[in-house]
Amino acid sequence: MSGRSGTGTRLMAGRNAVILLSGGLDSATVLAMARQQGFGVYAMSFAYGQRHAHELDCARRLALQPGVIHHSVVNIDLRGIGGSALTTTQEVPKDRNLDQEQAIPVTYVPARNTIFLSFALAWAEVLEVSDLFIGVNALDYSGYPDCRPEYLSAFERMANLATRRAVEGAPLTLHAPLLNLTKADIIRQGLVLGVDYGLTTSCYDPGPEGKPCGHCDACLLRARGFAQVGVPDPLMVRYGSVTA
Amino acid sequence: MSGRSGTGTRLMAGRNAVILLSGGLDSATVLAMARQQGFGVYAMSFAYGQRHAHELDCARRLALQPGVIHHSVVNIDLRGIGGSALTTTQEVPKDRNLDQEQAIPVTYVPARNTIFLSFALAWAEVLEVSDLFIGVNALDYSGYPDCRPEYLSAFERMANLATRRAVEGAPLTLHAPLLNLTKADIIRQGLVLGVDYGLTTSCYDPGPEGKPCGHCDACLLRARGFAQVGVPDPLMVRYGSVTA
């Protein structure tokens, strides 16, 4: 598993990668990092019954940029499985103290990253692609178990026993270039790479036209990140600041 | 990972398990083994764009038996990903010599078991179930990489890093009770447990009303298994023998 930052010097002309693109700040940054490393991009998003389906509009806009060869939006219904505030009518927690909270919050979606990575693994095999990027982060995050480095390493190991391509000598590398970055560091690197964060969304519980609630974990982490960088969030500029 | 046979003496009153139920001979046997071990069953099947969708009718009939608490049929479109004779118009190979063939055949579906197990993992977490059964077999099989014991062990390890339930101290056990059985042994055990193999299907390329082609790998393996046991296949009795 590669946790290295995407601002390195590797240039791989002609190589392509599959990227999980949620439409959020993190995956938009990962997309820019992969492009900077010279990868052509196959972007994959999921319509999984999420209450914040606005993120798919953002993913579609982000996928219009040069270097994205194809954008696939996969329909799967995780509402039928339930177990999360993001796929049920359960309330999204607001104004949590992120420095004190320890428990995994109700916005955790059971096995979501495993399901997403499994589809990406299948697509990578068919495309004959050996690089898979995911924008998970283990510092400024909500404590989800499937964002931790030990999980990602175990997924990569399993993936390399799962496919014909791996068995025949073309193993997959799972890249998580944001893994050890703070939200502020992610934003800094993204700004250097020209990411337009006004095209992204983070909110778990957006209002009409995707207006951020300003109070869920994702909004709070995003706001703190931009504050630490010391630049305005273009999304907040557009909607008017909604955080305290 | 538990590869032990389901004919053991463990009895776990009140425990439930998630079982991947394809409608085939193997998963029907696994269902009976889990029931014999005392598990209540949550059965999960997938409408994934397979050409042999007849297997879903079989799964639905199998799920009507006592002890099946709920049967979930998950819609996912693997045709959009492609890469297999089972999800495209590519021809299913016929009359292969299974004792000589080494290459992974075109009926392999990229990452299929990983995708199926990922959904089952999510469901198990929501149901608060710690046991997951899959009917893969590494002896009389088509050589798929995601049927091998090392793959299953790696999936189990990954799964136990992926979920809140595992992190909070309730790990998942992945049971593959058929793993080291021949097809004949599977049938023998199933017959002892009262499995009605007339309710199952195996063919990758069935005709109208699910009539087996008699020539694909799955038909050949099934026919050899019943021949070795020395009993007629009730499916063949119904349709009339179609194998040489």
**pLDDT by residue (tens digit) across A213-225?**
999 989 999 999 9
**Contact call for B74 and A77, based on CB within 8 A:** yes
- HEC sequence for chain B: CECCCCCCCCCCCCCEEEEECCCEHHHHHHHHHHHHCCCEEEEEEEECCCCCCHHHHHHHHHCCCCCEEEEEEEECCCCCCCCCCCCCCCCCCCCCCCCCCCCCCCCCCCCHHHHHHHHHHHHHHHHCCCEEECCCCCCCCCCCHHHCHHHHHHHHHHHHHHCHHHHCCCCCEEECCCCCCCHHHHHHHHHHCCCCHHHCECCCCCCHHHCCCCCCHHHHHHHHHHHHHCCCCHHHHHHCCCCC
DSSP character for A47?
E
Q: Are B122 and A115 inside 8 Å of each other by CB?
A: yes
Mean pLDDT of chain A: 90
**Residue A40: its H or E element:** strand A40-47
The 10s digit of each residue's pLDDT in B17-70 is 999 999 999 999 999 999 999 999 999 999 988 888 899 999 999 999 999 999
Q: What average pLDDT score do residues B58-85 get? A: 93
Q: Is B229 annotated as ligand-binding? A: no
Residues in A touching B146 (Cβ below 8 Å) = 161-163
A219 assigned binding-site residue: yes
* Per-residue pLDDT tens over the stretch A66-106: 999 999 999 998 888 888 888 888 888 898 887 776 678 88
Calculate the average pLDDT of chain B.
90
Flag whether pLDDT at B116 surpasses 80: yes
Best residue of A148, A155, A174 to probe chain B, by most B CBs closer than 10 Å = A155
Q: Do B162 and A150 touch (CB under 8 A)?
A: no
Of the listed ranges A112-121, B141-150, B197-206, the least confidently predicted one is B141-150
pLDDT for res A7? 36
SS3 state at A36: helix
Q: Which residues of A touch B109 (CB under 8 A)?
A: 122
Q: Which domains does chain A have, with CATH numbers?
A: 16-239 (3.40.50.620)
Q: What is the mean pLDDT of residues A155-176?
A: 96
Let me know: does B45 contact B72? Beta carbons within 8 Å.
yes
Annotated binding residue A40 = no
How does residue A2 score in pLDDT terms, banded at 50, 70 and 90?
A: low
Residue A29, annotated ligand binder? yes
Q: What is the pLDDT of residue A202?
A: 94
- CA dist B154 and A227 (Å) reads 41
Predicted pLDDT of residue B97:
84
Identify the helix (H) or strand (E) that includes residue A238.
helix A234-239
> What is the per-residue pLDDT for B195?
98
Query: What are the chain A neighbours of B161 within 8 Å (beta carbons)?
Result: 145-146, 148, 150-151, 154
Confidence at residue A9, expressed as pLDDT on a 0 to 100 scale: 37
pLDDT at A77: 84
- Distance CA(A156)–CA(A150), nearest Å, equals 10
Contact B114 A115 (CB under 8 A): no
**What residues in B contact A158, CB-CB < 8 Å?**
114, 151, 154-155, 157-158
Q: Which residues of B touch A47 (CB under 8 A)?
A: none
Cβ contact A114–B162 (<8 Å): yes
Q: Across the interface, do B83 and A126 touch by the CB < 8 Å criterion?
A: yes
Sign of CA dihedral B200, B202, B206, B212: negative
Residues 6+ apart with CB under 8 A from B152: B1, B3, B134, B136, B174, B176, B179
Distances (CA, A) of B200 to A182, B21, B133, B213: 53, 11, 18, 14
Taking the model in full, what pTM does it have?
0.91
Task: Give DSSP secondary structure letters for A82-142.
Answer: --STTTSSSPPP-S--TTT--SPPTT--TTHHHHHHHHHHHHHHHHT--EEE----SSSS-
- Rounded to the nearest 10°, the torsion over CA B220, B33, A115, B123 is 150
* Cβ proximity of A19 and A26 under 8 Å: no
Residues above pLDDT 70, as percent of chain A: 92
Best B20, B71, B81, B117 residue to mutate vs chain A (most A CBs within 10 Å): B81
What is the least distance, in Å, from the CA of A216 to any CA of chain B?
A: 20
